Structure 1
C-alpha cells in the first residue's frame, strides 16, 4: 500500500505521496511538501505539547536563504494534522545533509507513533539521497531515543547541539516572578532601576545594532556568532514578527545602548534566543533588568514557561543530582542564568545517521579524536 497524502479522499493541496516507505497507520494518510510557508502546520505545532519553534514553517522561512531547502512530512487523520516533522536540507562538501530539529512530533507518545515517523524520516532521506540525517527529538521526546538507536543512528557529538536548558515557571503575577528570583539578583535588578537604566523594544531598523552587540559579545567569548549574519537575523525577525512572536529589547543608560535580548514566543513557551552587551556596562546591571523584563513580558503573553535556551549538560546533571558545582562550573558563563533560579532540564541529545559505511567510520574516528581533546562541556549560555 502506498501512502496517499489524501484528506477524506481528496488530495491535500501542495502535498504529494511519499513512496518507498511503510503504509500509514490505519485511519491516517501521509503527505509531503517542499513549500516553506505552512500556517496549518504551525497551528498544529502551537497546540501540541511537543511543538517547538524550530519545527515551525516560520523558522524555515528564516533559515531559507537559497542554500537551505525544506521538506515537510505530515500524517493526517480525519482532515486534521496528527503528527509529522520538518526537515531542513543544506549542501556541504560531503554532500547534502538534513536536520530535523525538535522533531518529529508524534500523534501519541507510544512506540508505534515514534517508529512510524522515524521510518518516514529515513524514507525521505533515501528519496532525497542525503549523505547524513541529524535528528534531535523535541524536548519531551525521550521515548524517541531507543527508537533512533534501534534504527542505526549514532550519538552526535561534533555539532555541539544544546542538550540541556533552564526553565523558569511563569505561574502567578509579576510579584511571584520577582519572588522566585534569588535575592542577590533581585538586588541587581533594583540597582539597575535606581541607576537609571531604561528599556525599550526594538524594531527592524535596530537589527544592525542588535547584531553588532551580539557579534562583539561572541568575540569576547571566543565563539562564532550564530546567526552568522545580519541578513539571517532579519529573515528570522520577519518570519516571526507577525503576531508579535519575536521581541527585541534594549537596555540604555543616558542615551547609550548597553545590552540587548531577543525572545521568540511559540505555543506556551517563550525562548530567550540571542543577546549581546557592551564590555563596560556590567556595573549598571542592564542584563539583569532585561531578563526580568523578558520574564514579565513572557507571563503577560500567556506563556507557561520561559526557556533560557541553553545550559551546560554537566551543570544540569550536577544540579539534578543535588551535587555542588565545581569551581570551574561555578565560574562558567551559565552562572548568570543560574542566578535567576529556574529548574535544569536534560534534553534528548542529537543523533546522526549515515547512508555510507565509509562516512560512518570517518565520523566515529572524528568523534574519537574529539574525545581525546577533552570532555564536551557545551556552548554555555553567556551572560
Structure 2
C-alpha cells in the first residue's frame, strides 16, 4: 500500500500505525484512512496528520488534506478528528493540535466535514473557534431508517414498491451475498458499469480492496451483491460509523431485462437486516434522491461543515469564503482568478 501522507514535515504517524489506530475507533470512517489519503495525493493534495499519544500509542488524531492555492493552503478534514472511545478530553486535545498545526504550517483555513454521530468532535471544534461554513455549504438532507423494526414492519411503512419489488425478487430466486461470500470483483464490475453509464468518476478497485482488508473484519465496511443463477446483477458497498450503516457506493448491470428485476430494493433491505444483526440502530441512505425516497421513514440533516480561517487576514479570508459560497458565478470568478495567479486547477475526483 502506498504511504498516503508521503514525507510531509507534519507527518507524525506512518500509514500502518495510523490505520492500526483507526481500526480501534468506534466512529472511524474510510475518509480518515491511508488509502483515501493516497488517492487524494494522486490528485494534487498534500496529506498531513496530527496525533495525540499516550504511553507511546496513538489515542487520537486527524488526517488533514491540504490544497495549495495562490491565496494560501486550504485544509480539509473529512469525517474526523477521531479519538478512542469518543473521549471528550482527547478530542479537545486533538482539536487544539489541529489549531497549532494550522498556524505552524501556514493553513489559511480548515474545513471539517462531519456526520451526525460526531457530536463530541463538533462540540470540541466549536469551542476552538470553528463556525458553520457560509451558506453555500448547506446541511445535507438524507433519509434514515430506524432498525428497531423488522424488515416486514419497515416495508409496511415504506412505499408499496419496496415490498412488491423485494417479494418479486425473492420469487425470481434472486439471492444476496455479503462480503466474504461474494468476490469483491463482482461488486466492482457492477460499480464500473454504472460509472460508465452515468458518467461519474470511480475509485480504482484497489481502493475497495484496501478498505476491505483494513476495515472489513472490524465490521466498519460491508458490501452486498445480488445474483441470479450465480450471475452478479447489482451490488452496494456500505460504511458503518458508530451504530449507523451508510449507503456509500453502488452499481448494477444495465441490460433492460436486469433493470426490470429491480433487485436494488432487495439489496438495501438485506443490508438493513445485516446491519440490525450487527448492532446498528440506523440505516442512512446518504441522500434524498427519488429512488431513496421509496424507503423514506424519516429525514435527517447532516451537520453543516465547520470552518475556521487563520492568519492576519482571517477576516478577509472568511469574506472570500462567503463570496465563493454566494453562487456559481462567483465560484467561477474565484477559480478564474486563482488560475490567472498561477494556481493549480482542482481536478474532478471520485467520491
> Normalized against structure 2, the TM-score is what?
0.69
Which residue pairs with 1:250 in the alignment? 225
Which residue pairs with 2:294 in the alignment? 339
Structure 2 residue 6 is the aligned partner of structure 1 residue 35 = no
Structure 2 residue 175 is the aligned partner of structure 1 residue 198 = yes
Change in Cα spacing, 1:129 to 1:91, as seen in structure 2 (3 Å) is same
1:280-315, Cα deviation, whole Å (9 max, x unpaired): 33321111111111111112222222222234xxxx
Superposed CA RMSD in Å reads: 3.9
Question: Which of residues 147, 151, 155 in structure 2 aligns to 1:170?
Answer: 147
Shift in Å, 1:230: 3.5
Q: Aligned equivalents of 2:139 and 2:261: distance in 1?
A: 30
Tell which deviates more after alignment, 170-179 or 183-192.
170-179
Structure 2 residue 259 is the aligned partner of structure 1 residue 259 = no
Question: Which of residues 247, 253, 265 in structure 2 aligns to 1:272?
Answer: 247
Q: Aligned equivalents of 1:161 and 1:88: distance in 2?
A: 21
Q: Aligned equivalents of 1:338 and 1:263: distance in 2?
A: 18
Which residue pairs with 1:235 in the alignment? 210
Cα pair 1:61 1:236 within 8 Å, conserved: yes
Shift in Å, 1:117: 4.8
Unaligned ranges ≥5, structure 2: 1-9, 332-351
Q: Aligned equivalents of 1:93 and 1:272: distance in 2?
A: 33
Which residue pairs with 2:344 in the alignment? none
1:93-112, Cα deviation, whole Å (9 max, x unpaired): 556443222334588898x9
Residue 45 of structure 1 aligns to a residue whose secondary structure is coil
Shift in Å, 1:163: 2.4
Q: Aligned equivalents of 2:273 and 2:144: distance in 1?
A: 14
Structure 2 residue 80 is the aligned partner of structure 1 residue 103 = yes
Which residue pairs with 1:86 in the alignment? 62
Which residue pairs with 2:191 in the alignment? 211
Number of positions where the alignment pairs a residue of Structure 1 with one of Structure 2 = 306
Shift in Å, 1:277: 2.4
Question: Which of residues 161, 168, 171 in structure 2 aligns to 1:184?
Answer: 161
> Normalized against structure 1, the TM-score is what?
0.64
Shift in Å, 1:349: 0.7
Which residue pairs with 1:64 in the alignment? 38
Question: Which of residues 294, 298, 306 in structure 2 aligns to 1:351?
Answer: 306
Change in Cα spacing, 1:208 to 1:345, as seen in structure 2 (3 Å) is closer
Residue 107 of structure 2 aligns to a residue whose secondary structure is coil
Tell which deviates more after alignment, 258-267 or 295-304.
258-267
Q: Aligned equivalents of 1:63 and 1:80: distance in 2?
A: 21
